[in-house]
Amino acid sequence: MNIALIAHDRKKDELVNFALAYKHIFAKARLFATGTTGTRVREATGLPVHRFLSGPLGGDQQIGAMIAQNEMDLVLFFRDPLMAQPHEPDIIALLRLCDVHNIPVATNIATAELLMKGFERGDLAWRETVKG
Ligand SMILES: O=C(CO)COP(=O)(O)O
């Protein structure tokens, strides 16, 4: 199971704390992240994280490419809804691809919790089937 972790700057602490709380579940998955988020999660949890470029430099698009190729199973994207981002088109494109390919995506911690509990009890096993 491949999981993407992305957080805007003012949401990074929240995502790091979330990753610590669910470390036992994340440890069963392969983790991917945008650059700075990946560094923060790796440092805090000690888990291996494949880091792409930072979001504004193309990291969202790199994760989007994995989604388009059916290589991403779950996306946790803690967006900052109160701050404009220079790469807003990339963010919208990533979320659009999640909808195009039916990839479970959480944009806030409340939904992320539900997805992690679902993942833990096997609700995302269908992803292995559609990956073939
Ligand atoms: O900007 C981001 C997502 O849109 C996140 O990028 P970083 O993890 O490099 O801060």
Q: What DSSP string runs through 15-68?
A: HHHHHHHTHHHHTTSEEEE-HHHHHHHHHHH---EEE---GGGTHHHHHHHHHH
Identify the residue whose C-alpha is closest to ligand 1 atom 4: 55
Q: What is the reported pTM?
A: 0.97
- pLDDT at position 33 is 98
132 pLDDT above the threshold of 70: no
Query: Cβ(74) to ligand 1 under 6 A?
Result: no
Per-residue pLDDT band for 45 (boundaries 50, 70, 90) equals very high
CATH class of 2-131: alpha beta
- pLDDT at position 81 is 96
Identify the residue whose C-alpha is closest to ligand 1 atom 1: 55
Sorted by where each begins, the domain ranges of the chain are 2-131
How large a percentage of the chain has pLDDT more than 90? 96
59 pLDDT above the threshold of 90: yes
Q: Which residues are catalytic?
A: 60
Give the model confidence (pLDDT) of 68-117 as tens digits: 999 999 999 999 999 999 999 999 999 999 999 999 999 999 999 999 99
Mean pLDDT of 22-26: 98
- Return left, alpha or beta for 122; rule: phi > 0 is left, psi -120 to 50 is alpha, else beta: left
125 pLDDT above the threshold of 70: yes
- What is the distance of C-alpha 100 from the center of its chain? 16
Query: Cβ(35) to ligand 1 under 6 A?
Result: yes
Residue with tokens 């088109």: 89
How confident is the prediction for the chain on average, in pLDDT? 97
Q: Distance between CA atoms of 120 and 3, rounded to whole angstroms? A: 13
Binding site residues for substrate, as ranges? 8, 12, 34-37, 54-55, 87
- pLDDT at position 131 is 80
Q: Distance between CA atoms of 123 and 49, rounded to whole angstroms? A: 23
Q: How many whole angstroms from 4 Cα to the centroid of ligand 1?
A: 12
Residues β-bridged to residue 25: none
Q: How many whole angstroms from 90 Cα to the centroid of ligand 1?
A: 11
Return phi, psi of residue 111, to 5°: -70, -35
- pLDDT at position 127 is 93
| Residues found in the chain | 132
- Counting atoms of ligand 1 from 1, which one is nearest the CA of 56? 1
